[in-house]
Structure 1
């Protein structure tokens, strides 16, 4: 592969720099994404220079064919790049060429004939019922300050006992809390009502009783030690401690407790539509992934228990 610094002529390098500036300012891409996109396009230009036998020019891009892009993608696949990364590469190339078209530099149909690699859906990893219960119970032993221990236990109880995302739990205010129902604001600002089981309600009540900061209706329910908004990082670190104490796998995260909520409900005969509403999924197809998780669990139990397993 040709050195990216010499892969294209001065005009194309200038266009590349303008595109990168647009990504960083107008689209405000995260630094890591901007770096990855820039690297992907740079690697493509290097490949194209080697493929055509000279620096990439405007004429090179005008003659670009679908076969050239397929050859590049095939090479990246041979370098053990996974489907998710290949999809990002294709996204970066499309972004760059859309920019060139908007600027009136060049328009190409070559990318339109390239199909995005299929990304296999990874199944969420749930804890067992025993592991989930142990995680909640062990939380109060991990902190010398009683109100902080009660706070963390209440947050994790909401993840497992109400299926909340960690961001949803930490965004709650006292005004969202009613006697038996919780008003949760999910993705896209969509509000849903989630029933509170007794164990979760007790965990929240204990935290409110011990918390040294007065809780006003419009202020965050869960506070940091100085009274400010609680950082999700602190709950994630608490889960790291719990994983170590209980010898749980690395997949045991706050979000895994939400997965466990859905998986255990489904395993006990919960209705898929009801679980969709509780989780705040916009589409039933998102919730249906838990049917695969439960099937895997049943098959594993079958293999272990059946005489011919």
Structure 2
């Protein structure tokens, strides 16, 4: 049977999982980088700006926010396990045990590797989805009834940091540059006058900027003849006004296997500071209480089936909630 082969034994298979390169660039990992921890429960610091009110976090089962200090507050949580699995049923096992050709047997082996790769992508995607929720909404909500994983955490981004454009950007007469200047000013008020390092938006939001008259005048002057704007023109206008550059995030994940879910909504611009927090990765029993992804192959005889499970324990933690401004446009 496939999982009896040497390449699918625990140690060798684990090495395979650890060395599969990422299938795509997960841009939010740079803002909440991986931090290994060696206990399921963990503590981390909420770093507050000098003029910012104390932040608080309500834990998974806590009825009220945990105690805060003046400029350094501790928040506690648990690292949650995310995992996916696939199953080789009796029919697929039969194809391997009694193949009509060596090619058919090889296809079953390829199926195991390809399906394992898909599990790894699923875990990585879910990890990025969790980071996106934290950075783009200030909350982490996730419900998986099948695996009995339920998360509902608010990281308390200051309410003043959630701002709205004066006129929706789909209106060509809107003033996005003024809106962004106001958003940056709000960011500075919570971060000792530091500016955000980047802004995230979707292509649909960028499309409104490419049609905007205020930006056209900024780039080409009053008598511009309705010239077309390019993304480079928009970035140039932002630079001229000492506004941070923007990056497009159109990434989607297939959440719960129910279709594609965008990481960032259209009509939203998120201004991000640096050193925002960590993605804590904890230990698992399946990996001998070590951190990182695990793989757990399982062979059953009644009925005959083989299962491969891939997962990790992970939790994205926001340590500077005041260093995020969310602009609805």
TM-score relative to the length of structure 1:
0.28
Q: Write 1 or 2 for the structure with the bigger share of strand.
A: 2
Instruction: Select the structure of larger CA radius of gyration.
Output: 1
Q: Write 1 or 2 for the structure with the bigger share of helix.
A: 1
Specify which structure has the bigger relative contact order, considering alpha-carbon pairs within 8 angstroms and separated by 6 or more residues: 2
